Amino acid sequence: DGGITQSPKYLFRKEGQNVTLSCEQNLNHDAMYWYRQDPGQGLRLIYYSQIVNDFQKGDIAEGYSVSREKKESFPLTVTSAQKNPTAFYLCASRAPYSGNTIYFGEGSWLTVV
Which residue ranges make up the site for other proteins (CB under 8 A)? Answer: 4, 31, 33, 35, 40-45, 48, 50, 58, 90, 92, 94, 99-107, 109
Task: Judge whether 47 and 55 are in contact, CB under 8 Å.
Answer: yes
Q: Which amino acid is at 37?
A: Q
**In the bound complex, what is the minimum distance in angstroms from residue 78's beta carbon to other proteins?**
18
Residue number with CB closer to other proteins (16 or 40) = 40
Residues constituting the chain: 113
Rounded least distance, CB 90 to other proteins, Å: 6
Report the residue number, 41 or 84, with the smaller CB distance to other proteins: 41
DSSP annotation of 2: -
Determine contact, residues 18/78, Cβ cutoff 8 Å. Answer: yes
* Distance in angstroms (rounded) separating the CA atoms of residues 19 and 8: 11
Rounded least distance, CB 107 to other proteins, Å:
5
Specify the residue, 62 or 81, whose C-beta has the smaller distance to other proteins: 62
With respect to other proteins, which residue has the nearer C-beta, 72 or 80? Answer: 72
- Cα 73 to Cα 12, 13, 41, distances in angstroms: 22, 22, 27
